[in-house]
Chains A and B, each alone.
Chain A
C-alpha cells in the first residue's frame, strides 16, 4: 500500500542555516500528489506546498520542494532557517479519489 517515510524525527539547527527535511514515498500509482503540511505548537496543520509534476520546483513562503518520481522523493528545503520556522512538518501522499497518507512528521527546532 501507499506510505510516506520521513527519516528524521527531530532536526535541530541554528538560525540562518539551510533546512532540508527528507521525504520519500511508496505508491503503486504513477501520478501521486505530494504535500507538505506544517503544524505550529498548539495549532492545527496547514498546507505549506504541494506538487504532482515531476521535476518541477514548487515554492511557498521561502520553502521549496521538487517531486522526483525517479527516486520517489519530495524533500523540503529552505535556504535560511528562521526562528519562526520551528514546527512539525508532515509530508503526505495522495492519489485522486484517495485519502491522504501522512508521514510520521519531522520536528524542526531552530535555535538562535
Chain B
C-alpha cells in the first residue's frame, strides 16, 4: 500500500488565485513526480524531482507552475494564477529511481477552479 501523503484532498480557488498543494513521498524515495489527471482521465506529466533537483518538466509547468522538493519538507506544486482548465486531480508519485522502479501514487489533490 502506498504511503505517499497529499494535502489538501480538495482545493477550491477562483480564477487568478494561487493554488498550492503538497506531497510527502514514501520514506526513502528520492524521486517525486507530479501528474495532472483531467476529467477524461488522461494523465499529463508535469514535473519530476530527484531529491531537490528538477529532472524534467513540461513547458506549461515551467511557465505557470512553481514546484519544489526542499530537503526535510514536503514537496509542493503551486499554480501561480489558476485557470478554469486547471481543474483536475493532481497526483503525486514517488519511487526509488526513475525508469524501472514502481511509482507509488498518493490519493491526489482535486482542484476546482471556479
How many positions in chain A have a CB within 8 Å of any CB in the partner chain? Answer: 24
Cα distance A52–B2 in the bound complex, in angstroms: 23
Q: Is A97 an interface residue (CB 8 A)?
A: yes
Q: Is A85 an interface residue (CB 8 A)?
A: no
Which residues of the partner chain B approach A50 to less than 8 Å between Cβ atoms?
100, 102
Which residues of the partner chain B approach A28 to less than 8 Å between Cβ atoms?
none
Q: How large is the interface on B (under 10, 10 to 19, 20 to 34, 35 or more residues)?
A: 20 to 34
User: Can you name 28 A-B residue pairings with CB atoms under 8 Å?
Assistant: A33-B99, A35-B102, A39-B41, A44-B91, A44-B105, A44-B108, A45-B91, A47-B102, A47-B103, A50-B100, A50-B102, A52-B100, A88-B41, A94-B98, A94-B100, A96-B98, A96-B100, A97-B97, A98-B98, A98-B99, A99-B33, A99-B56, A100-B33, A100-B103, A102-B43, A104-B43, A105-B41, A105-B43
Measured CB to CB, the nearest residue on chain A to B102 is: A47
Q: Name the residue in B43, B48, B91, B98 with the highest tally of chain A Cβ atoms < 10 Å from its Cβ.
A: B43
Chain B contacts with A in 1-50, Cβ cutoff 8 A: 2, 33, 35, 40-43, 45, 48
Q: Is A95 an interface residue (CB 8 A)?
A: yes
Cα distance A46–B91 in the bound complex, in angstroms: 12
Known: A46-B105, A105-B41, A107-B41. A97 touches B99 (CB 8 A): yes
Measured CB to CB, the nearest residue on chain B to A100 is: B103
Chain A interface residues (CB < 8 Å from chain B): 33, 35, 39, 43-47, 50, 52, 88, 90, 94-102, 104-105, 107
* Per-position binary interface string of chain B over residues 95-114, scored 1 when its CB falls under 8 Å from any chain A CB and 0 otherwise: 00111101111111000000
